[in-house]
Structure 1
C-alpha cells in the first residue's frame, strides 16, 4: 500500500497508546515515527522531515507542552496535535496558546483521530498578524527610547541634572546605553549648544591617556613638536563623558582629581595651570569599590565622581521597552539595507521579549540588524538566532546532548561492540539485528 507523503511523529510515554495511534495512522496510509520522551522526539525532529507532531501532554520529566513550545519556535511550520487523557480547559488553552492546532482527549475513536489529523494538516500554522513599525517618537527622550518604570526613573534623574554642571556617575552593564544617557543629559539641557566630547578610557593605551585627556606642551616627549589641546580643552564650557573610567591609571586619576577639585588642567610636560569649565560625566560597568579595595582606584576620586550616581537598568529589567527598541532598529536597518519598511511577526516579538539579553541593547540591535539582512519583508522567528528560541531544561538525568538518530545509533553500536569485545555475533544478538546488517552499519559509521 502506498503511503501518503506526510511523516507523523507520535510522542507518548505509554507504549500501548503509541502503538494504537501508529496502527490507526498506518491504516490511513501515513508514515510514522515514535518517541517515548520529549528528548527522543527532539532527536527525531532534528534528523527527519516531520509534517505533523502528535504528542501527549502528561509525561514524566519534561511534558508535552514544553515540546509544543519548542517545536513552535524551532520548527514553526510543523502543525501540532495534542492528545491527552487529562482533559481540562486550562490544558487546552495552554496547548493552543503554545501553538497546538488540535486538541483530542483519550479515549478517542479512529474516526476522531482521522478528523483531527486531517484538520491539523490542512490548518498549518499561519503567520500571526504583522506588527507595523510605527514611529516611536512618543516614547523617546533625547536618544533614549522606552516607557518602562525602570527607564522613567533614569529620565527623572536626567531632568534633575541636565541644567547644572554637577558631576554625574553612571553605572550599568555593558550595552545598556550609558553613553546615550550622557548625551541626553547634555543635549536635553541648557548647555546643549556647547561641545560634548565622549572618551573611551579603555580604548586608549595607558601611556597615551594622560596626554589625550589633558593635552601636552611642545617638547613634552619625543614627537611632541607642537602644543596640543586634549579632550578637556576641547570640551571647555560643555560636557566630557569619560566611559570605562575604571581603566584609567592611578597617575591619570590623580590629574583628573585636580580637574574636579580645582577646575583647572595642567598639560603633560608643562607647569602652567589653565582654568577649565567642564561638566564631567563618568561611567563604568566595573565595581569601583572593589577596585578601591584592591588599590587600583583612588577613593577620593570616587567620591568626587559620584556627586550624582545612578544605574542604567539592564534590558531584562525593562522588557516593556523591547518592542519599541525593535521598531526603531527595524526602521533604521530596513531603510539602510532594504530601502523598505520591515515588519515583524508576533512570534518573533514573543521570542525577543522572552530572552534575557546578556548583551543588553547592543545585543538586541545586532540581532535585529542580522534579522533584517536575512529576511525578505518581514522578520519571522526563523530569522532569529537559535539562542532566542524556546529551549527545554531537561532534568539532570536527561541533560545529555540532543543528537540526531544516526549519531545515537552509531554511539550505541560502538558501545555494544566495546562491551562484547568486538564479538559481532554477540553484539548483533544484543542489538536484535542480523550479523550482516551489523557489519554494514559498522562500515557506514567507521
Structure 2
C-alpha cells in the first residue's frame, strides 16, 4: 500500500502531541494537515480533501465529540480515530457506537496507531453503514429471530455491527443464544470466509487458558514438547469469540487488554511478537459492572470489549416468539429422529407461553426434544414435558413454603429478598443496598429462588 495517496487531518490542542503525530505519519508516507482546535479542523475539511481524521477527545471550546458531530454533517462517513485519556473513554465509546472507526487511550503507542491507519487503508475498508447493508437471514447461524420487538431491534443491530470490525460484547442469561448471535455476526461480516474460533473461557482452567489463547513454544513449560499455535493466532483473518469472558483471571485480563490495544501476541516462552488481524466478540451472563465495582474485572478491559453492546432478552420477555420457536424446534427434532410430524395443540402452546423458562431458548429446545420423543399419537401435551418447575406455578404468586421447611434459612432469605423488592418497588440495586449485599449476589439469588423483580413494581 502506498501511503502517499492518503491525507490525514490531525487534531489536538497539545502542540507537542500534534508534532509527534505529524512526524510519525509523515515518516510513514502520509500527507498531513494539523489543527489545534475544532474550528480550524472544520475549515480544513472544507478546503482540503481529507481521507481520515485523528482527533483528541478532550479539547477546549469544541471537544472531539462535538467536532465529530459537525463532521458527520459536512462529510458523512469520514473515518475518525479518537485519542482519549482513560477518564474520557465512555465518550469515545459512544462516538464509536455512532460510527467512528476506533479509539486509543493515552499514552498511546505511535507505531500501533500508524499500523492501525495503514491496515484500514490496506483493507480498503469503509465506515460501517448506519442503515445496515448486511442483511441477517432468518435461521442464519441456526438462530430463530422471531418477530418480537426486542428481537427485531437485535437483528437490526447485528446487521449494522456485522459490517465493521468493532469489538462487540454480547450480554444475556444462560441459554438465550449468545454464541448463535456471534456466529450470525461473523456470517454476515466481510470476514465470513475466515475462521470463527470459539473459546469457552468459563470451562478452561486459568493455567491452561493462556497457552490455549496465545500458544506456546517448545520447552516453554513441562510437557510443551512442540510449538503450539494459540486460538487467537488461529483466528487470523476471521473472528475470535470469547465466551464467558467474565470468568478469566486478572492476569489474563491484562494480557487480553494488551492484545486488544495493539493486536499483537507473544506465545508463552517466545521473545518475538506477532501481529494478528482478527475481529473480537465476547459474551457473558455475568454482571460485569458489579464485578468492576468489586475489583474483579478491569474497567479498561470492559470499555475495550463493549465498544458495542448487544443485550439479548430472556425468553420470558419475548413470549410472542415462543410459538414460532416451538414449531421450528419440533420440526427439527422430528427430522433428527425420523418421527412423523408432531402436532402442538393450541392449549399446549398457550401453556408453553405461560412458563418462565429460566433456561431460556436452550431449555425450550431441550424440553421439546423430550416431548417429541415421549408424546403419544403425535400430539404434544403438557404431561409429555419433563420440566423441573411446577407446571401450575403462577409467576404472579409468591410460593408458600412447605410445612416441613417453614423455618428453613432458604425460605427466610427468600422472604427477605421479596420484602426488600416490595419496599424498593422492584429496583434490584436498591434492594441489594437494603439487604447489604452486592448487585451480583442479588442477581444470583433472584435466579436461585425464581423471583421476578417486575412482580413487585
Secondary structure, counterpart of 1:351 in structure 2: helix
2:392 corresponding residue in structure 1: 390
1:373 corresponding residue in structure 2: 373
Secondary structure, counterpart of 1:365 in structure 2: helix
Q: Distance in 1 between matches of 2:399 and 2:210?
A: 56
Describe how 1:366-445 pairs up with structure 2 within 5 A: 366-376=366-376, 377-385=378-386, 387=389, 389-391=391-393
Q: How many residues align?
A: 266
| TM-aligned CA distance change 1:253 to 1:138, over 3 Å | closer
Q: Tell me whether 181-190 or 382-391 shows the greater mean CA deviation.
A: 382-391
Deviation, structure 1 residue 142 = 4.3
1:177 corresponding residue in structure 2: 177
2:139 corresponding residue in structure 1: 140
Contact 1:173 1:314 in 2 (8 A): yes
* Pairing 1:337–2:345 present: no
Secondary structure, counterpart of 1:343 in structure 2: coil
Contact 1:195 1:237 in 2 (8 A): yes
Contact 1:170 1:283 in 2 (8 A): yes
| TM-aligned CA distance change 1:395 to 1:380, over 3 Å | closer
| TM-aligned CA distance change 1:396 to 1:194, over 3 Å | closer
Q: Distance in 2 between matches of 1:352 and 1:315?
A: 11
* Pairing 1:350–2:346 present: no
1:438 corresponding residue in structure 2: none
| TM-aligned CA distance change 1:318 to 1:398, over 3 Å | closer
Q: Which blocks of at least 5 consecutive residues in structure 2 are unaligned?
A: 1-135, 405-457
Q: Distance in 1 between matches of 2:254 and 2:398?
A: 53
Deviation, structure 1 residue 251 = 1.1
| TM-aligned CA distance change 1:225 to 1:138, over 3 Å | closer
Contact 2:330 2:372 in 1 (8 A): yes
Q: Deviations over 1:57-100 (max 9, x none)?
A: xxxxxxxxxxxxxxxxxxxxxxxxxxxxxxxxxxxxxxxxxxxx
2:149 corresponding residue in structure 1: 149
Contact 1:163 1:191 in 2 (8 A): no
1:115 corresponding residue in structure 2: none
Q: Distance in 2 between matches of 1:178 and 1:394?
A: 28
Q: Distance in 2 between matches of 1:216 and 1:392?
A: 54
Q: Distance in 1 between matches of 2:292 and 2:400?
A: 45
Contact 1:236 1:276 in 2 (8 A): yes
1:322 corresponding residue in structure 2: 322
Describe how 1:22-171 pairs up with structure 2 within 5 A: 139-145=138-144, 146-171=146-171
| TM-aligned CA distance change 1:391 to 1:371, over 3 Å | same
Q: Deviations over 1:164-222 (max 9, x none)?
A: 11100011111100000000000022211110011110111110000001111111100
Q: Distance in 2 between matches of 1:240 and 1:393?
A: 39
Q: Distance in 2 between matches of 1:222 and 1:395?
A: 58
| TM-aligned CA distance change 1:388 to 1:400, over 3 Å | closer
Contact 1:167 1:281 in 2 (8 A): yes
Secondary structure, counterpart of 2:193 in structure 1: coil
| TM-aligned CA distance change 1:207 to 1:396, over 3 Å | closer
| TM-aligned CA distance change 1:351 to 1:221, over 3 Å | same
Q: Which has the larger radius of gyration?
A: 1
Q: Distance in 2 between matches of 1:264 and 1:157?
A: 29
Q: Which blocks of at least 5 consecutive residues in structure 1 are unaligned?
A: 1-136, 403-446
Contact 1:175 1:360 in 2 (8 A): yes
What is the TM-score when the length of structure 1 is the normalising length?
Answer: 0.56
Aligned Cα root-mean-square deviation (Å) = 2.4
Q: Distance in 2 between matches of 1:150 and 1:394?
A: 23
Deviation, structure 1 residue 392 = 6.4
| TM-aligned CA distance change 1:275 to 1:385, over 3 Å | same
Q: Distance in 2 between matches of 1:369 and 1:217?
A: 45
Q: Distance in 2 between matches of 1:314 and 1:392?
A: 18
Q: Distance in 2 between matches of 1:198 and 1:394?
A: 39
Q: Deviations over 1:389-438 (max 9, x none)?
A: 33469999987679xxxxxxxxxxxxxxxxxxxxxxxxxxxxxxxxxxxx
Describe how 1:204-223 pairs up with structure 2 within 5 A: 204-223=204-223
Contact 2:356 2:395 in 1 (8 A): no
1:202 corresponding residue in structure 2: 202
Q: Distance in 2 between matches of 1:207 and 1:243?
A: 17
1:268 corresponding residue in structure 2: 268
* Pairing 1:288–2:288 present: yes
What is the TM-score when the length of structure 2 is the normalising length?
Answer: 0.55
